[in-house]
Amino acid sequence: MTRSEHLVMLICMWLCLFPLVTAIVYLDMMLAPTWPVWSRTMVATAVAVPVMIYLVRPNVMKMIARHHGMTVQEYEIACCDPERRA
C-alpha cells in the first residue's frame, strides 16, 4: 500500500471508530454512572474492538476496493502481497 492509501484507510477507520466509541461511552455513562474509569474503558474496548474487526474493517475494505474497481481479495493481493501482484 502506498503512503496515501494508508492515510485513506486511517481516516476511514477513524471516521468509523470515533462515533462508535463516543456512543459506547455515552451509553456506558447512562447505564453505569458510578463505575470507575478503568471498568468503563474495559466495556468500551470490549465492544468497540470486535465491532471494528468484524463489521467496520470489512466494509471499509469493500468501499476502498470498489473505488479501485477490484474485489476485496484482489485489492488485498495488490496492496499487501507484492509477490502475487499481477
The per-residue pLDDT for range 44-67, each reduced to its tens digit, is: 999 999 999 999 999 998 998 898
Return the higher-pLDDT residue of 8 and 81: 8
Provide the pLDDT confidence category of residue 83 given band limits of 50, 70 and 90. low
| Banded model confidence at residue 77, pLDDT cuts 50, 70, 90 | confident
Cβ partners under 8 Å of residue 51, min gap 6:
20
pTM value is 0.74
Residue 50 in grid coordinates: 470486535
What is the SS3 assignment for 55? helix
Using one digit for the tens of pLDDT, what is the confidence trace for 5-45?
Answer: 788 889 999 999 999 999 999 999 999 999 999 999 999 99
pLDDT of residue 75: 84
